[in-house]
A and B are shown apart, each in its own frame.
Chain A
């Protein structure tokens, strides 16, 4: 093929996907930035350019800070535990285990269930008095507790649910990585008389580092984009104690009808994601050493 035809064909093949990607990823990213500089218009008044006024308002907005704080706690609460559990699950399922197929299925099942559906079920777990958790704790004489109605415990409830939902998904990545490790390693370890814990700490875990990194980044992104459970369980309450950034954006845009302030908040979310992307880029350099 002559080279100009390669050029044309290449771009033509790319065109349909490129149009949609630009329309729903790049273009809205840019307009988010632009809209954040305007005040939302009303039926009688068009949107008005106000410079950084929305940002100033945001910095003084207690709910925004609460959402950011919650989001960071939410990330901190979910990521390490779900990664540790995922690794444990993968190590268990990767070895010989009675009823291994069933166990693996149990671990993985939450992944394919919609968050909305499982939130319905978990709502019942957390219900005071008649809920499963209170019934269970009641056996030990522990009084009932309004888990989701208390600002002290509500975020922890969301964290537990999210760990349950995600751990099995992350297990898959560890499982794939474990199965790609050469089996001679473990034999060599056994011949050398290395204990299992020692072998895991010094051999398996370091070799799994790229996977851990990949999973951690995925978990971090998820903690910023996964808010479905809030719609069923808490609606961000009580008193914004469980609101997350994306949920707050949704509320501002579609309940308070202030799309421009929502755009301002979205800029912050985009900034977080950009930071993650840069962090990933820097860490990826290190990842090569393990290959």
Chain B
């Protein structure tokens, strides 16, 4: 409200500048959402209208049905779901334990160990696909969902984030719990974990969207329908060799992004705040 009055009170030159600025912000927003709008257009119209933009073009769901028939998307969804949840659960458990050790235990070699953990922030599993593939084939985990997730389960980022949070927990709370006879694991579960809920939410959203979208390592390590996540399935489906038309590819693309996109639209504020929280170090 104050903005409008301020704009009205401003001298005309400034007002024009302000209008231009708003226009530019909107134009950029339009450009940024345009690819998604286009995908929606192509997916909901018959193939003939994929490149002709007529406002009265007939709507159809046929493209979605075709995509669903032509590739095992149901299986891909299941695989991605299994991958994302198993990675998330493992990350929560492993990172919580490690972060607790780093935050509250003075053990020999702690600082060196922490520095070694942080190495993973720089050298992500994506970079080591060649050697990790070798390891996975030695472990017999090639083409398994566990094989996709395993390199990501101990996450330096998660450990770092939780350690920061745990360090802010007042020691008195821990001591009080100790006096009441809690073991150190009970202290972790009853004091630290509940107080770190916002961090878990933030890290969880970042992790889920990362692994829902991850491609290179899953491509390398999977070679069957039973293990392929959505991204890899979509890449195979959309390959120019497959000869599938634009509208169907757009429909498949929307199918693959729909769960995450809908979740994002519903919980936009939490998403943005989570990414913010995860980003502030």
Q: Which residues of A contact B (CB under 8 A)?
A: 1, 6-7, 9-11, 13-14, 16-21, 23-29, 31-32, 35, 85, 88-89, 92-93, 95-99, 101-118, 120-125, 130-132, 135, 164, 167-169, 172-173, 175-176, 214, 221, 224-225, 227-228, 231-232, 246, 249-250, 253-254, 259, 262-263, 266, 269-270, 273-274, 276-277
Contact = CB atoms under 8 A, between A and B. Distances in A.
Contacts of B239: 232
B44 interface: no
Contacts, number: 253
Nearest first, the 5 A-B pairs at minimum CB distance are: A10-B107, A10-B105, A28-B131, A114-B213, A96-B3
B contact face: mostly helix, strand, loop, or mixed: helix
Contacts of A28: 128, 131-132, 134-135
Contacts of A167: 32
B116 A26 contact: yes
Interface string B106-135: 111010010011011011111111111111
23 contacts: A6-B105, A9-B101, A10-B101, A13-B105, A14-B102, A17-B94, A17-B159, A18-B117, A20-B153, A21-B154, A24-B135, A24-B151, A27-B135, A95-B3, A109-B264, A111-B275, A112-B260, A114-B230, A164-B31, A214-B279, A225-B127, A250-B129, A262-B130
Interface of B: 2-3, 21-22, 25-26, 28-33, 35-36, 38-39, 42, 51, 93-95, 97-98, 100-102, 105-108, 110, 113, 116-117, 119-120, 122-135, 150-151, 153-154, 156, 159, 184, 209, 212-213, 215-216, 219-220, 230-231, 234-235, 238-239, 246, 249-250, 253, 256-257, 260-261, 264-265, 268, 271-272, 275-276, 279-281
Contact of A112 (B33, B235, B261): B261
Given A120-B253, A225-B127, A7 B107 contact: yes
B209 to A, nearest CB: 5
B28 A32 contact: no
A20 B154 contact: yes
B29 A106 contact: yes
B32 A231 contact: no
A89 B272 CA distance: 14
B264 A112 contact: yes
Contacts of A254: 133, 220
B120, B154, B268 — most chain A CB neighbours (10 Å) = B154
B234 A116 contact: yes
Contacts of A7: 107-108
A269 B39 CA distance: 35
A21 B120 contact: yes
A106 B98 contact: no
A208 B108 CA distance: 38
Contacts of B153: 20
B280 A176 contact: yes
Nearest to B51: A130
Nearest to A134: B51
A24 B51 contact: no
A16 B94 contact: yes
B32 A116 contact: no
Given A92-B21, A112-B264, A35 B101 contact: no
B209 A112 contact: yes
Contacts of B257: 113-114, 117
Contacts of B256: 114, 117
Given A6-B106, A10-B106, A16-B154, A114 B132 contact: no
Contacts of A27: 131, 135
Nearest to B117: A21
A25 B123 contact: yes
B94 A20 contact: yes
Given A103-B26, A117-B253, A273-B123, A13 B97 contact: yes
B71 to A, nearest CB: 13
A9 B30 contact: no
Contacts of A228: 215-216, 231
Given A121-B38, A214-B281, A24 B184 contact: no
A246 B129 CA distance: 9
B98 to A, nearest CB: 4
B154 A115 contact: no
Contacts of A253: 129-130, 133
